[in-house]
């Protein structure tokens, strides 16, 4: 499932062709994705200007001049692509990339200026909904989220305070969206490896120095992944069809059996299962 860096990459790709432009035509080609579309979905979007594109955690937020916000989640296989009147293919064959087909084009936005924004989702685990922008705090998907990992609010002292007394493993605590928003399996594995902390450590044992080290590692991993356009695993590609390349710098995730890259370590990356998810770590240098 796309994590924060992948969703931020999609937001950046869509912004130039959507921000400040009218949705001249909105179309949902089926009644539901993961959840049913809200009543009058296409009618509430047609003829409305997109003022701004935001992101919160793993959600895209299209701020509309009507006073509503369109919230979109990519799910497991959801993909926004941009189709231009003058150019129907770009590097990556983004119009219908490998593994996708036109029959899974479930939502189309015809934008002022000629671009079409297509949401393709073969597995239909993604979803879209509309809500009044000034009621955002009450939206179930957004209520209770922790700070963004690259925000000023997220710090070592904050992290230590948020996990104090928790008996859950450290990895599970970082995946809790109430602790920090937007982190997923890939980037938690990478941050824990950089910080030299075991995913099996009890979160409540995190002291000030380790918390500071981990908060810094989380921020660095997220910033580097955004700069790299995210990690392209299975279904992810950005809105222009380009693939991210952060996966080429993975130190832990997916590296089972490889020698740890930490200087002077010499350990070997192992894979364990925590809460049904694969965890990759070095038992030698991650304590």
Catalytic center residues: 2-3, 58, 277
Residue with tokens 């895209």: 60
Is residue 254 within 8 A of residue 264, CB to CB? The reply is: no
In the chain, the N- to C-terminal Cα span, in Å, equals 28
DSSP state at residue 260: P
Report residue 164 CA to chain centroid gap.
26
Tell me the H-state helices in the chain.
4-18, 41-45, 156-163, 170-175, 185-195, 208-227
Is residue 175 within 8 A of residue 209, CB to CB? The reply is: no
- Backbone Cα Rg of the chain: 20
DSSP 106-168: EEEEEETTS-EEEEE-SS---EEEEEEGGGGGG-TTTTT----TTSTT--HHHHHHHHTT--S
Q: Is 140 exposed, middle or buried (0-12, 13-18, 19+ CB in 10 A)?
A: exposed
Q: From its phi and psi, is residue 39 left (phi > 0), alpha (psi between -120 and 50) or beta?
A: beta
Please name which of 16, 124, 126 lies closest in space to residue 70, comparing C-alpha atoms.
Answer: 126
Phi, psi of 97 (to 5 degrees): -70, 165
List the structure tokens of 82.
């941009």
Instruction: Give the dihedral of Cα atoms 45, 48, 52, 53; nearest 10 deg.
Output: 20
């Amino acid at each position: 499932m796309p994590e924060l860096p992948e969703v931020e990459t999609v937001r950046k790709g869509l912004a130039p062709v959507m921000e400040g432009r009218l949705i001249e035509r909105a179309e949902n080609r089926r009644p539901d994705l993961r959840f049913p579309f809200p009543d009058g979905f296409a009618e509430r979007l047609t003829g409305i200007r997109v003022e701004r594109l935001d992101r919160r955690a793993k959600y895209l937020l299209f701020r509309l001049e009507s006073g509503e916000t369109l919230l979109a989640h990519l799910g497991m296989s959801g993909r926004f692509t941009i189709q231009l009147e003058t150019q129907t293919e770009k590097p990556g064959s983004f119009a219908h990339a490998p593994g996708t087909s036109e029959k899974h084009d479930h939502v189309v936005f015809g934008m002022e200026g000629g671009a079409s924004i297509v949401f393709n989702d073969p597995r239909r685990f993604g979803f879209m909904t509309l809500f009044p922008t000034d009621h955002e705090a009450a939206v179930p998907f957004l209520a209770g989220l922790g700070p963004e990992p690259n925000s000023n609010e997220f710090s070592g002292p904050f992290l230590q305070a948020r996990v104090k007394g928790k008996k859950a493993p450290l990895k599970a605590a970082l995946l809790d969206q109430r602790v920090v928003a937007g982190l997923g399996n890939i980037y938690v594995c990478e941050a824990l490896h950089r910080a030299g902390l075991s995913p099996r450590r009890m979160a409540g044992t995190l002291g000030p120095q380790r918390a500071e080290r981990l908060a810094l590692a989380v921020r660095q991993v997220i910033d580097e992944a955004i700069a790299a356009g995210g990690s392209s695993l299975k279904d992810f590609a950005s809105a222009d069809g380009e693939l991210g390349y952060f996966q080429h710098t993975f130190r832990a995730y997916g590296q089972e059996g490889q020698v740890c890259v930490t200087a002077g370590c010499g350990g070997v990356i192992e894979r364990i299962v925590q809460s049904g998810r694969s965890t990759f770590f070095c038992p030698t240098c991650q304590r």
